[in-house]
Amino acid sequence: MELNSKIYVAGHRGLVGSAILRSLQAKGFTNLVTRTSSELDLRNYDDVLAFFLREQIEYVFLAAAKVGGIVANNEYPAEFIRDNLLIQTNVIDSSYQTNVKKLLFLGSTCIYPKMAPQPLKEEYLLTGTLEPTNEPYAIAKIAGIKMCQSYNRQYGTQYISAMPTNLYGPNDNFDLEKSHVLPALIRKFHEAKEKGQPSVEIWGTGTPKREFLHADDLADACVFLMEHYEGNEIVNIGVGDDISIKDLAELVKDVVGFVGDIVYNTSKPDGTPRKLVDVTRINGLGWKAQIPLEEGIRSAYQWFLDNQYAISK
């Protein structure tokens, strides 16, 4: 990409898209195109194609998606499969129709089989049963990956797919009904601290292990891949290390400064028991994550403090 290349960041207000936008700006890219969902509904093919025809985009970061944690995936399965299929199909095909030079599609490591060996290697995709709590989302994302690979094979496009692990950082979703585990913990401990509550309840047993990647590290990796990777195979993005939910909760508790107890509601689902990604491929290309977990959590909590009144209650 040249510094004046016309680059479209789809989903620029979300956790991932906003980080990609910050990374591109910091690296000196000047011709960046964004649209809010009210300005452009990515679920409407005619509108998306008209946008691509008008703007003549050269590079696309496809970070727009309907995302959420266990609760949201359980309650809105139809929306998770429908909206994601529509968004990615419209953007990928419009990119092809208007001769976009290169596109990066964001998958997720939660679409690997539930009981796949650890750490998760890229070749484990589609080798087993999916985690039931997010199956509709996973199937949509797998379809997006296969669509990119199919367009590459049939049309000679350069559409690459990245598989980020669990993410956190600025512009995260802190809605307790829709958020992922780390932002939910930040908000829970903060509100308990503010209200002087004696304890905080956490779903499950605390035994599952998760890997956490700061959104700014992901964004740096996405720009790196756009500039240095042209393969048809998916690429994991992670830190190569994980932590139990119990240890994560204790870490967030310390960062927030909550002094009460942690109570585990074992009647609630744990989700996938472990999800650590093998980062051999991207490390071999020359990229590694840089932000330590505690440092990242402190910055995420500070962002929450600075923006909590603008966050939906």
Please check if 14 is assigned to a binding site: yes
- Is residue 106 a known part of a binding site? yes
Strands 199-203 and 102-106: unpaired
Q: Which of 59, 112, 137, 301 is catalytic?
A: 137
- How many alpha carbons fall within 13 Å on the CB side of residue 310? 8
13 is in an annotated binding site: yes
Ligand-binding site membership of 108 (annotated): yes
Unique residue bearing structure tokens 């990229």: 287
Would you say 11 is a known binding-site residue? Answer: yes
Contact 128, 113 (CB under 8 A): yes
Question: Where does the chain show beta strands of DSSP type E?
Answer: 7-10, 32-33, 59-62, 102-106, 159-164, 166-168, 199-203, 209-210, 212-214, 235-237, 243-244, 261-265, 274-275
164 has binding-site annotation: yes
For the question of residue 124 being annotated catalytic, the response is no
> Which pair of structure tokens corresponds to residue 124?
């484990």
Q: Are 239 and 173 in contact (CB under 8 A)?
A: no
- Residue 203 counted as an annotated binding residue: yes
Mode of pairing for the β-strands spanning 243-244 and 209-210: antiparallel
**Residue 206 annotated in ligand binding:** no
- If we measure between CA atoms, which residue out of 151, 153, 179 comes closest to residue 60? 151
Tokens of 293: 């977990």
Q: Is 4 annotated as a binding residue?
A: no
| Residue 167 in marked binding region | yes
Binding site annotation covers 141? yes
Going by the annotation, the residues of the binding site for substrate are: 188, 203, 210, 270
Going by the annotation, the residues of the binding site are: 11-17, 106-109, 141, 164-167, 180, 188, 203, 210, 270
Going by the annotation, the residues of the binding site for NADP(+) are: 11-17, 106-109, 141, 164-167, 180
| Catalytic residue annotation | 137
